[in-house]
Amino acid sequence: MLFCSLKGKVIFCSYFSSVAFFKDRLKEKDAHTWVPSLNDVPLHYLKPNSLVKFRCFIQDMFDPEFYMGTYEAVDPSTKAKVLRCGKYKDVTECGVDFNSRSTMTAERHTFYCVPIPGESPWVKEISSSGSSQARVVPSTSYAPTRQKRSYEEDDDDMDTDTQPQKQREPHTEPHGNGDCKRREKEAPSSQAASASHLDLNFPLPGEKGPSCLLKVYEEWDGFKLNEAVEVFGILSVSPALSALADEDASSSLLDPAGGMETAEEQRVHSPPASLVPRLHMLHAKPLPHNNPLLPAAGLEDNNSAFLSSTLREMAAVRAELLAYFTHVLLGDALAAEYLILHLVSNVYTRRDVLPLGKFTLNLSGCPAVASFTERFYQIIQQLVPSSYYLGMTLQNMNQMRLVPKKDYVANRLLSGALQLATNTSLFLDESQLEQGQLDTTGVRNVTALGNLISWQKVDYDFSYHQMEFPCNINVLIASEGRSLLPSDCQIHLQSQVAPPDLEAYLGGIQVHPQASQLNKFRMYLSVARQLDYSIADEVTKSVEDDFVDMRKDDPQSISAEDLHRMLVVARLLSLSLGQTSLSRDSWLRAKHVEMLRRSRMEQNKCVNGNEP
Amino acid sequence: MSSPLSTPGGRKRGRTTNPSTREFTCPPSTWPQVGVSRLVPTVPPNEVDMSSPLMYGTPSSRVEGTPRSGVRGTPARQRPDLGSVSKAPQVDLQSEPPSADGAVASEANAGQRHRKIFPLSLFIDPSSSEDENTGLDLNEPLYMQKLEEISVVGDPVLNVNCLHVQSFDAELYRQLICYPQEVIPTFDMAVNELFFERFPDSILEYQIQVRPYNALKTRNMRNLNPEDIDQLITISGMVIRTSQLIPEMQEAFFQCQVCAFSTRVEVDRGRIAEPAVCRHCNTTHSLALVHNRSLFSDKQMIKIQESPDDMPAGQTPHTTVVYAHNDLVDKVQPGDRINITGVYRAVPMRANPRQSNVKSVYKTHIDVIHFRKTDEKRLHGLDDAEQKLFTEERVQTLKELAAKPDVYERLASALAPSIYEHEDIKKGILLQLFGGTRKDFSQTGRGNFRADVNILLCGDPGTSKSQLLQYVFNLVPRGQYTSGKGSSAVGLTAYVMKDPETRQLVLQTGALVLSDNGICCIDEFDKMSDSTRSVLHEVMEQQTLSIAKAGIICQLNARTSVLAAANPIESQWNPKKTTIENIQLPHTLLSRFDLIFLMLDPQDEAYDRRLAHHLVSLYYQSEEQLEEEFLDMAMLRDYIAYARTYINPKLSEEASQALIEAYVDMRKIGSGRGMVSAYPRQLESLIRLAEAHSKVRFSEKVETIDVEEAKRLHREALKQSATDPRTGFVDISILTTGMSATARKRREEVAQALKKVIQAKGKTPAMKYHTLLEDLRRQSETAITKEMFDEALRALSDEDYLTVTGKTVRLLA
């Protein structure tokens, strides 16, 4: 007895040292290359209980869970009691002794994670090709065979998995490749079929991809809802989990007491593991951006070489991008200028309730022909890492769920289209809106959009109260006239193309630039958004003087509001040129650009509302 | 933070079972199988364990020959909230060596502890201010009075405040918290003995059950961790779901199918020990469960969710399952905010016979012992349940801050620092946040006096009115933010809806009721529809809301301060017009605002420069400075909360004199020009503002300086909003009657002039509207607008001098 528990302790210790080993390895630079990613590799190719990574978005946080940290179990072969560790596992081994004194209860938290909503196809493509090394590791133990294996075997794998996957894979490769091709065809269909009855709760309609239940063992307080993280963890797809769920669900139907959970809740909280795998987290890092072209670590630390080289090129890339946008925006260079500013904007801080740095652009005067707005969106989607197109049709506004809502029956947060990750581009197509009646939901949705734009926050509906979640979403409104939504800045598109040629012209803008050039643009936009920025004292002084002078000349036309906007424009202009502090030139240029825009507004004065 | 580990096994007594019985889990869903399952028995069951329906399982109640027949004559009721208690201590002795903690549960100590509890009955708490103790003499032993109450009322429940236990005996308190399952029954025992000793003739339905509450172990659901398992905890939260009533078996009734011998078995932690052998005929496996004769108790599953105030930003609220038993069933409704005292439990997931593996997760719940609604009192009085607990140091820092001479200015500038200047407006809002002193004259028939200050901000668009509103909304704990454009009368007041689950009609409250005791921020006040606005009349003076909808007639409290923002009707403030003309709001509503501020864009170079500096610095301030301000916001919030709860200033003699003088002065100003410039409402406003200002100073007395500031602020606001643009004088009648006195005088003059014109025409019964206007214009030396002419006509028709029909004017009489 004593011996057994000692042996158990040894297993326990070796287990934790292996965890430490994993963590160390993951800190290495090439960590992301050799770990297969749940984003790219279909679930049925991944070995259960192996190390995987997942680039995801925390959609919901479930209640904390108490589990058996260590427990004693009776070994079926030797009939001896063995101390086991329950960490990083969902299922215990057989013969658990619930009354053992050495049982230790520990706490873990469960987050429901989905792929980053609205992630552009190019991001998926590039990041999956980036980890090509890990990609070709279809395991021999592909699903059907895997399920036939006894659970014992699975658990053995777990214990001996101390050497990294990489070393084991090469010799499974040769014969694994052949039959995985065959299965590739059949697998998705079965997955789609089973997914139909289960709402995976993606924020955006039409999203695909795996979602997973992330089990967090430490520092769970550091995670926030709507955060994008890259998680390294142990994949658990034990069919026992789904079986347990099925069995529980059916029994709770019989049971008038309802157990502790309703069937609905059961279904949401323990979905079949084949559809929603469990991921036991070893290590996670927050993603400041999800652009695979940038170094993952962020710009601050030890990437100065990368940073300085990109900074040098920025002005040149900007000129190219400006030319490209001018072409897209029917030859309107000023609108193109503002579009760049919009795309590099970012809420960098909040002063009490005021978000600073947001730059919602209302592009009015969009031609109503040939689905200009949709094509325009496709171009933006090509450039930003994540985006979403919301056609503001009456039907959409009246029926869509924009604001996430807590469903108390299933005990989860029903996602809405405004549950988006930081720096997602939200493209609102107001040209789709027609005359008609907005119902209660519609009014609420429009109010939510207005709040999002003005305060960069979304009030989630918890039915008994609302809860405010700050966000950081770049909103671009395309409309024919002035938008009914508030915006930081409105610019009226002036087409340089004669109306008869418009159709043909629009057909042509779809032609994409070269891949290398596209990548340059993508990188440029992401970098510019991440830069730090400051204003030197002497420039502050001259800005103040300028403002006072402008007020003196024409107090009616310039207000504090305008100064706010000009400061943001100046900031974005500097950043878009790769300058991290405001120079006199940039300020003058910002003033000039603003002046051009205002004079254009005067021309198109068909505005009648009273508040800008 | 590393994940907390603990060993609940060490405390889980009763798990290791008596070898004579076989135990199996019996969740409600599986109990029908009990009679069917057959497993090999070993030894005949222990008699003491099996048959003690009347025993409360504690040794002293079994002592023979005790004269306290009262205790024995009253049946003890099962306490499903504590699990089955009778066996736990005994089993414990067998399975574990008595350690220091284990000894707590041992029987010898139980008796000792039970004697220790007696003196608690003499506990006196003169400082007690809780509502539950109303009607009790605070200088007498508290719990003896409660026992007396029980003997009269016959409700065998005694609520015990854990704080009392703690101040009485810290060790006993510790034991109560750590071993509620064992200690509470001893409390029960002691109380029952005491009770029947004092009131030997009382007849109770059951023995008295003790319900401790206010265990200060955990206040927050988020802090629950494995160490709390099986301990007594108190948490606060909001009820989100309640289940239907669940019958739960308490005592199983078994009957031998051979000889019809019956036996009863208590349920222990969801398990029933099925007797394997009939004691009467010694047949094995002959006992079958008889449902109809088994005992069941009521049970209800309740889900509670963390209250939004307790949550860290950026996370979703946690929920916890709570089981209520017996008379606690149906005591709470979804939406209630409650404090729960109970025992935290973790149960391993049921092992499935078909599977060798089980999920390694425990299910957790709380067995509730005591509910306490935190918002119950809101229906009839002040809610002091919300009293924020401040630490000593915090109170000290707050008091230090209050002692500073410039505290008022400091706080005002800490308010919405991102908004530039508008010092007086910020000061006004600050006073609004503190509010006046609540006075209750309902006994003399005057009802409540409004203590809340209402403020209206109007002014040019883009002068950060909305931002100010947002700030206030974020600052106060019970704030509501609505926009006049989006809200209907229904959204502001209350509406009736059908609960989808219960099919019951439920009254859902709107923004005004929700912000009871808080601030309701209403943006775009001017864009509100008239019907919506009319709701505000009652709220802003009587502070109640009457509803008569779908057969529900009620009056709700809406003691809310209103902070509204309105835009001028012509998009830009017209300085040539009065406030009323600019914002087009009915003066009846305007007069209910204590302070009306104009937020205009001052056009002056020095101001512009300061503004520019402020804005630019906003855009490049360093992180540390931001941090500093953030602290200030938390501090401000605490400061306000403290002052609102603890400071209730009263008028001093000098202050009342000063107020009287101020009021008389205000009346005098107007009377010089033949008009009234102040009404009692203005006096009330002054009092409220002065009280609020003394709250800012943490002073219990309103002094002259408070009155001075109130006067100044009131005058400032009036100067801005009630200045007659024609004369430049402050004229309160603009706000009270919607028209300045000069304007009224002018109207009178035009009417007289018109009358003269008509009389000059001689006997013409009907005239053309246009010719009359032309005539008047020719005769008058000042320009006559069409509006003025219309007004004059109206005035004359009011005098029954003429009538206007279409384009013709007819003389009457």
Q: What are the pLDDT digits (tens) for B123-178?
A: 555 444 444 444 555 666 777 777 888 888 777 888 888 877 877 778 888 888 88
Query: What confidence score (pLDDT) does residue B506 get?
Result: 64
d(CA A449, CA A390): 11
Q: Is B308 strand, coil or helix?
A: helix
Cα B76 versus chain centre, distance: 37
Among B1, B3, B419, B627, the strongest candidate for a mutation testing the A interface, having the largest count of A CBs within 10 A, is B3
User: Does residue B497 carry a pLDDT above 70?
Assistant: no
Neighbours of B751 (CB within 10 A): 21
Interface TM-score (ipTM) > 0.85: no
Counting every residue written for chain A, the total comes to: 612
| Phi/psi of residue B396, nearest 5 degrees | -60, -50
d(CA B254, CA A509): 84
Q: Out of B2, B16, B357, whose CB is closest to A218?
A: B2
> Percent of chain B scored above 90 by pLDDT?
0
When pLDDT is cut at 50, 70 and 90, the band that residue B540 belongs to is confident
Query: What confidence score (pLDDT) does residue B123 get?
Result: 58
One-letter amino acid for residue B762 of the chain = G
Instruction: State the DSSP code for B763.
Output: S
pLDDT tens for B346-385 read 877 654 544 555 667 788 888 888 887 765 443 333 344 4
When pLDDT is cut at 50, 70 and 90, the band that residue B436 belongs to is confident
Strand A65-74 to A96-97 pairing: antiparallel
Q: Which residues of B touch A65 (CB under 8 A)?
A: 361-362
Query: What confidence score (pLDDT) does residue B94 get?
Result: 35
Which residue stretches of chain A have pLDDT < 50?
Answer: 1-14, 132-196, 245-260, 606-612
Q: Which residues of A touch B565 (CB under 8 A)?
A: none
Q: Is A505 strand, coil or helix?
A: helix
Q: Which two tokens stand for residue A178?
A: 């052949």
Contact across the interface for B612 and A89, Cβ inside 8 Å = no
Q: Is A548 in the B-facing interface, judged by CB distances under 8 Å?
A: yes
d(CA B304, CA A575): 48
Q: What integer best gives the mean pLDDT of chain B?
A: 69
Query: What confidence score (pLDDT) does residue B550 get?
Result: 64
Q: Give 3-state DSSP helix, strand, coil % of chain B, rounded to 5.
A: 40, 20, 35
Contact across the interface for A560 and B615, Cβ inside 8 Å = yes
User: Does residue B295 carry a pLDDT above 80?
Assistant: yes
Contact across the interface for A611 and B359, Cβ inside 8 Å = no
Query: What confidence score (pLDDT) does residue B306 get?
Result: 83
Select, from the ranges A486-500, B23-37, B612-626, the one with the highest average predicted confidence (pLDDT).
A486-500
Surface-to-core class of residue A140, CB atoms within 10 Å of its CB (0-12 exposed, 13-18 middle, 19+ buried): middle
Q: Which two tokens stand for residue A465?
A: 């109260």
- Yes or no: say if A365 and A604 are a contact pair by the CB < 8 Å rule: yes
- Give the mean model confidence (pLDDT) for residues B413-429: 77
CB pairs under 8 A between A and B: 248
Instruction: Measure B6 CA to nearest chain A CA, in Å.
Output: 6
Q: What is the largest CA-CA distance in chain A?
A: 94
Q: Which residues of A touch B313 (CB under 8 A)?
A: 224, 470
Strand spans (E) along B621-698: 650-651
Element (H, E) at A388: strand A387-391
d(CA A510, CA A375): 7
Instruction: Measure A336 CA to nearest chain B CA, in Å.
Output: 25
Nearest to A474 by CA among A405, A568, A352: A568
- Give the mean model confidence (pLDDT) for residues B227-249: 82
More reliable by pLDDT, B557 or B594:
B594
Query: What confidence score (pLDDT) does residue A1 get?
Result: 36
Query: What confidence score (pLDDT) does residue B523 get?
Result: 80
Select, from the ranges A473-487, B41-55, B410-424, the one with the highest average predicted confidence (pLDDT).
A473-487
The tokens 């974020």 sit on which residue? Answer: B474
- Yes or no: say if A426 and A390 are a contact pair by the CB < 8 Å rule: yes
Contacts 24+ apart (CB under 8 A), B257-262: B257/B286, B257/B287, B257/B288, B258/B283, B258/B286, B259/B283, B259/B286, B262/B290, B262/B293
Strand A104-115 to A51-61 pairing: antiparallel
d(CA B710, CA B705): 9
Q: Is B225 in the A-facing interface, judged by CB distances under 8 Å?
A: yes
User: Does residue B64 carry a pLDDT above 50?
Assistant: no
Alpha helices in B16-105 (DSSP H): 47-50, 59-62, 69-73, 88-95, 102-105
User: Does residue B487 carry a pLDDT above 80?
Assistant: no
Concatenated DSSP letters for B673-686? TTS----HHHHHHH
Neighbours of B410 (CB within 10 A): 15
Query: What confidence score (pLDDT) does residue A475 get?
Result: 92
Contact partners, residue A430, CB within 8 Å, separation at least 6: A392, A477, A478, A479, A480, A483, A484, A485
Instruction: State the DSSP code for A92.
Output: P
Query: What confidence score (pLDDT) does residue B48 get?
Result: 37
Select, from the ranges A249-253, A483-487, B409-413, B419-423, the one with the highest average predicted confidence (pLDDT).
A483-487
Query: What confidence score (pLDDT) does residue B139 get?
Result: 64
Residue A609's Cβ-side half-sphere holds a number of Cα atoms within 13 Å equal to: 10
Q: Out of B357, B612, B617, whose CB is closest to A94?
A: B357
Query: What confidence score (pLDDT) does residue A342 get?
Result: 92
